[in-house]
Amino acid sequence: MSYAFEPVRDMGCIIRAERNGDPRGWLAEIYNAEIFAAAGVPGFVQDNISRSSEAGTVRGLHFQFPPHQQGKLFRVARGAVFNVAVDLRGPGFGQVDQRVLDDPTVWIYLEPGVAHGVQTLEAEVELHYKLTARFEPRALGALRYDDSALGIAWPITPDRSRLSPRDLAARSLADLEGAF
């Protein structure tokens, strides 16, 4: 099996797994610790699954404050999302990466200090995450999904009913400068 690694600005990388198919369908190896480590993707201590039932649901932009920041390896196992990453670190502060993810053989790795969020583009979306640090509730942070400084072009206008109270009360980008 082989993989293609493409940079995501200075925030991480996109990892595309090779599909091997025949008339019955296809098979892909979607994770190989040795190959990922050789490409600079670290090891992981926690795996999570998230499921959203409605299109237009926004989750994020989430991160953990130092010293508990997490690197995240993320993929869409089912459905499609509009994926957003925002660099909260030094020289890259405020850089935004926006893209649609809809292929279960594609991972995106985001380094510690990068806020991450998604908007579901269809119903019944399932997401898989691998994290480099454990969840620490006291270190949890959220960046406002609608901060005008970010210029995020959400494909579906976010509806307040599809946002968590934490995401509605999140901080602005300006409030986070120097936090990492």
Q: Would you name the residues annotated as active-site residues?
A: 62, 129
C-alpha of 25 from chain center: 28
What gap in Å lies between CA 115 and CA 13, rounded to an integer? 14
Smallest CA-to-CA distance from 77 within 57, 105, 54, 117 is with 105
Q: What is the largest CA-CA distance in the chain?
A: 54
What gap in Å lies between CA 88 and CA 15, rounded to an integer? 22
DSSP 18: P
Burial class for 5, CB neighbours closer than 10 Å (0-12, 13-18, 19+): middle
